[in-house]
Structure 1
Amino acid sequence: MGLNFEFVTATQIVFGTGTVKKVRQMLEGMGRNILLVTGEKRERAKPLAESLLSGEFEVNYFSVGTEPSAGIISEGVKMARETGCDVVVGLGGGSVIDSAKAIAALVPNKGELLDYLEVIGKGQKLLEKPLPFIAIPTTAGTGAEVTKNAVIHSPEHRVKVSLRSPLMFPDVAVVDPELTVSMPPEITATTGMDALTHLLETFVSNQANPFIDTFCREGMHRVAASLKKAFENGTDLKAREDMSFASMLGGMSLANVKLGAVHGFAGPMGGMFPVPHGAVCATLLPAVMEVNLRAVTQQNQQQTLAKYNEVAQILTGNPEAGATDGIQWAREMVQFLNIPALSAFGLSAADFPVLVEKAKKASSMKGNPVELNDKYLLEILEKSV
């Protein structure tokens, strides 16, 4: 009986507008030969790179233009080893941060990526400590700057899986909301819904605890207050700050509590179709909430029912709201953000059986508040296409 939980996150978090300017100082003592992992457009990292070069650091660029794959990670590891890099900095969205995190982890460790991957690999534990790593997100959704895993796309297996280790938390997470101002509305929408899904799923997870719940409540309040504002006006720095904070809180939550059915489907779906992860989360979330609510009601899980009611009250701002109001809020938000149904990305009923089987094996599904049978899982997909 009583409270019983563990909590881990990045060793240091530096949050606030303009904090990216402190990175050069942070790197002192970490290393001098930097692998700077960026998105396809390197110019976004130019101010940071110039500040590092003026500090007599050596900077080696590695660009990630797509989602991380075994090939991309192997290429990055090879470059880091050949150039003698002793520290990794990732500046970009979730794909960039995950790539940088995986490269930093694998450089000191022997073997191939598949030796360490979950589900499709051997799932071996990392034995050597990763290279020092600083994560600097330029989007507000994944929370990857404070998590211990890197999501890897395997085209041959048509699935996304994780490289995961408690050793993989970034040494420093630098969260500068100003870096997210340039995000276009569609990316603001999908990443914002990803952040909300992290917060909501961990809040109702069967592994939830009161400590993580405090993060989830705060994060959901900020999403409810600011996602629409950030979508409509990308230069609204207060809204961007709220979304960056919510994203970080979501990452801290999912690093310590398993997610649920939305992310159970998201891994296989993202591997099978060219659909942004945040769009998957947004489209599935209302249906998962609806099906979960019915299932927990049937099982009389009063504590989870109370949490779904609280979610509704936070999202709607109405202290009298019930769980169904929260589902309606989610549906209306997806519509407001112009996020298309999954059929727009090529998903059809013919794909449902494979997706259900893959989802049941996903790590995230183990955190769903109630076990869902095939009928429920199929219903979720039917409501989301």
Structure 2
Amino acid sequence: MPGYPPGLPWNPPLNPDGGFFFCGQGVAWGKGWSHSGAMNFEFAAPAKIVFGPGQAARLPSLVAPLGKHVLLVVGASPGRHAGLIQAFAAAGLGVTLFSVAGEPSVDVAKAGVALCREAGCDVVVSVGGGGAIDAGKAVAALATNPGDPYDYLEVVGAGRPLVERPLPHVAVPTTAGTGAEATANAVLTAPAERVKVSLRSVMMLPTVALVDPELTVSMPPAVTAATGLDALTQLLESFVSIKANPMTDALCRDGLRLAARYLAAAYDDGADMAAREGMALASLYGGLALANAKLGAVHGFAAPIGGLFAAPHGQVCASLLPAVAAVNIAALRQREPGSGRLAAYAAAAAMLTGRADASPEDGAVWLEALCRRLGAPTLTALGLTQADIPLVVEKAARASSMQGNPINLTTAELTAIVERALG
């Protein structure tokens, strides 16, 4: 495929034996697979998922049964949504606009809740990237639950569970990366603590996730790369997670193949609708997977780095992805050579490279080549220095995403990840 990393296949094949490569509960599966270990798991998802080109036109009719007055949460350019506001009005819906510039903070969420209550909104619609959708999820949840956001936040707050069901929420992504339309948490920056943390509850899953690939066509190449590499990261981390289950494996298996085939194509030609559709689906799969399996060290580092530096989440993930994969694989080789998580890395490598004999290390090399191909920044380019490493490592070790990493990493290994990602 034109523009794909040299030597890397654009359409990874199936298992030569006729089955897919995937892994669940530590066992690599192909044709005639068998599953060992406990098969007990739960799976949560939005109440309704609407996917496909042109489906955004259905938004007013999907919202109308849920409420009468919409809090419309959008990104930094609210003027782009004048047509949608008119469509809501034509459907008999009142609209109050709430614009979120960038990734939301705790104070932004509080402001949205105050506006929502003051305007008497009874349904939330978020249209935009992961920041707008996370803001929408947070506002919908906090509008019905009393107290301060810190009462419910992880890591820096009390972590109390939500008691009241959030307002109905319809999430409409305009990027293909975060999968926020299918997750049960909202990531908020806590400025005082200089860290990103989550407000989390299964009740925060959107009432409707409406994914229209046509809405992603306007993304410029740099945003396509950053969001797409975030989607790829989420798929890989969910796939190798110690919390993976057969359903998340199935989603990640297809999502990894989609990302391998279409991410570079979407980067090269934003009007390539097959690539845009493939990446929108990969992003959705990643959101569904991470909502039901833990993530790992990439997102464990991304939380404190995003709080300490003004760096977009997708770019942070892209800078860390190859280093985390390499260090995780080396740690597994050294301390847990028989681990099923190492088998998961091998299965992922086969799907990404298209080679049935690919080793986990081959997969890490492929990721590094792809990140270079898409112009992923180094951590140095995002503002980090050698002096920042101890603080970043300390904060990352406490991040909730670390709970899903395929192996417990030592301080030396966490330090090595940042040093490699500095470039």
- TM-score per shorter chain, which class? over 0.9
Partner residue of 2:34? none
The correspondence for 1:330, drawn from 361, 367, 371, is 367
Of stretches 264-273 and 296-305 in structure 1, the one that deviates more from structure 2 is 296-305
Partner residue of 1:92? 128
Offset of residue 320 of structure 1: 2.3
Partner residue of 2:202? 166
**Within 5 Å, which residues of 2 pair with 1:29-68?**
29-68=65-104
The correspondence for 2:407, drawn from 367, 370, 376, is 370
Partner residue of 1:300? 337
Q: Taking structure 2 as the reference length, what is the TM-score of the superposition?
A: 0.90
**Within 5 Å, which residues of 2 pair with 1:157-196?**
157-196=193-232
The correspondence for 1:213, drawn from 244, 249, 253, is 249
**Matched-pair identity in %:** 51
Letter in 1 for 2:140: A
8 A contact 1:21–1:48 mirrored in 2: no
1:68 is paired with a residue of what secondary structure?
coil
Number of residues of Structure 1 aligned to a counterpart in Structure 2: 385
What is the rounded CA distance, in whole Å, between the counterparts of 1:301 and 1:6 in structure 2?
26
Partner residue of 2:304? 268
Of stretches 300-309 and 322-331 in structure 1, the one that deviates more from structure 2 is 300-309
8 A contact 1:69–1:153 mirrored in 2: yes
Offset of residue 51 of structure 1: 1.0
Partner residue of 1:351? 388
Consecutive unaligned residues in structure 2, runs of 5 or more: 1-36
Partner residue of 1:248? 284
Partner residue of 1:340? 377
Of stretches 287-296 and 45-54 in structure 1, the one that deviates more from structure 2 is 45-54
The correspondence for 2:355, drawn from 309, 318, 327, is 318
Offset of residue 311 of structure 1: 1.0
**Residue 108 (structure 1) aligned with residue 144 (structure 2):** yes
Partner residue of 2:39? 3
Partner residue of 1:282? 318
What is the rounded CA distance, in whole Å, between the counterparts of 1:87 and 1:257 in structure 2?
28
- Structure 1 runs of 4+ aligned residues shifted over 4 Å read none
Q: Taking structure 1 as the reference length, what is the TM-score of the superposition?
A: 0.98
Letter in 2 for 1:367: G
Consecutive unaligned residues in structure 1, runs of 5 or more: none
Deviations 1:157-199 (A, max 9, x none): 1100000011100000000000000001111001000000100
Deviations 1:271-318 (A, max 9, x none): 001111111111111111111111111222342222111111111112
1:130 is paired with a residue of what secondary structure?
coil
- Give the structure with the larger helix fraction: 1
